[in-house]
């Protein structure tokens, strides 16, 4: 769609931007657009993927998938206020993603340094009595690969300009640049390496009570006004459909039947397209 945004498009775009970017969204957006050296040039795959509305689906899939590592999930449950302040958590995450992918090198480094400072204080013991810490390279790698796989997979399905094979490898390599800055040693740099690392974590993954509680909150009890619940339900169903079957079963999420398996991709493209249309009013 082209032309001057109409009032409905503008209102919806403003509402979405406010929810995702938070009260500092306008200031951050202007700062990240300032001239200066960057970690990623304008033509890099990470900017195409993370600038697309398919991230709304990819982000939700990533949260559900990440919850299946018991130590990663207990760290979130014990140290994150995701139930009391879910929008604040979303806004901090989206700001980090924007700063590292689109901001200047100084913005990106500042965002990474902030996360690393927070991680130093996130420690505890899981249900099995095993100590954990958020800056554990093994846990950092899990969070990274689950996120990278989710963002890329959903972009390829619902993005406006899917990447070719070289672009997919380029995206994984771009994401590795950020992962290394966060303290991940030797992250995967190709899609094949990414798949191999994900497979390697499979024996460690299971749905704890905390993971199931987080899934219920994200899927069925989001803090949204009544009018937004219908579109969000479509978004959530789309993210669930992109999870591996074993992950859906573990979290107790509904498995699409034969008819739904056919319907969800076009419905998902519809809801992502609507988000894309609304956010275009912000450009």
HEC letters along 66-126: HCCCHHHHHHHHHHCCCCCCHHHHHHHHHHHHHHHHHCCHHHHHHHHHHHHHHHCCCEEEC
Residue 148: closest CA among 105, 182, 109: 182
Please give the pLDDT value at position 259.
Answer: 58
Q: How far apart are CA 210 and CA 73, in angstroms?
A: 7
| pLDDT reported for residue 260 | 66
Alpha-carbon span 38 to 252, nearest angstrom: 42
What CA–CA distances, in Å, run from 155 to 73, 171, 246?
25, 11, 22
Q: Give the residue with greater pLDDT, 84 vs 203.
A: 203
50: Cα within 13 Å, side-chain hemisphere:
25
Other CB atoms within 10 A of residue 190 CB:
17
pLDDT tens-digit readout, 243-258 = 999 999 999 998 776 6
**What pLDDT digit, counting tens, does each position of 42-51 carry?**
999 999 999 9
84 vs 221 pLDDT, higher one: 221
HSE value, Cβ hemisphere, 13 Å, CA-based, for 54: 24
pTM over 0.85: yes
Query: Residue 95: pLDDT above 60?
Result: yes
- 227-248, pLDDT tens digit by residue? 778 888 889 999 999 999 999 9
- Written as six digits, the tokens of 45 are 């795959």
Contacts for 61 with CB less than 8 Å, ≥ 6 apart: 150, 153, 154, 239, 240, 242, 243
Q: Where are the domains of the chain?
A: 7-280
Tens digits of per-residue pLDDT, 70-90? 999 999 999 887 777 777 888
Q: What is the pLDDT of residue 1?
A: 44
Residue 135, pLDDT > 80, answer yes
């Amino acid at each position: 769609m082209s032309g001057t945004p109409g009032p409905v498009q503008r209102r919806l775009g403003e509402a979405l931007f406010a929810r995702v970017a938070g009260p500092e969204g306008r200031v951050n957006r202007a700062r990240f657009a300032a001239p200066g050296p960057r970690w990623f040039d304008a033509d890099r795959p990470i900017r195409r993927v993370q600038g697309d509305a398919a991230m709304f689906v990819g982000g939700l899939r990533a949260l559900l998938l990440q919850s299946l590592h018991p130590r990663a999930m207990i760290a979130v449950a014990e140290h994150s206020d995701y139930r009391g302040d879910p929008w604040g958590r979303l806004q901090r995450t989206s700001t980090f993603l924007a700063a590292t992918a689109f901001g200047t090198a100084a913005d990106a480094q500042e965002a990474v340094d902030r996360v690393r400072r927070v991680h130093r204080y996130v420690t505890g013991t899981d249900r099995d009595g095993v100590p954990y810490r958020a800056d554990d390279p093994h846990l950092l790698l899990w969070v990274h690969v689950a996120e990278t796989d989710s963002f890329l997979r959903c972009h390829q399905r619902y993005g406006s300009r899917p990447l070719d094979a070289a672009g997919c490898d380029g995206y994984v390599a771009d994401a590795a640049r950020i992962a290394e800055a966060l303290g991940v040693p030797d992250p995967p740099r190709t899609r094949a390496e990414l798949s191999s690392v994900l497979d390697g974590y499979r024996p460690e993954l299971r749905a704890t009570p905390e993971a199931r509680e987080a899934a219920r909150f994200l899927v069925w009890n989001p803090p949204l006004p009544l009018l937004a619940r219908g579109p969000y339900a479509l978004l959530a169903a789309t993210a669930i459909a992109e999870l591996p079957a074993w992950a859906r079963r573990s979290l107790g999420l509904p498995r699409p039947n034969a008819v739904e398996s056919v319907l969800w991709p076009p419905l998902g493209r519809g809801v992502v397209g609507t988000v894309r249309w609304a956010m275009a009013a912000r450009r």
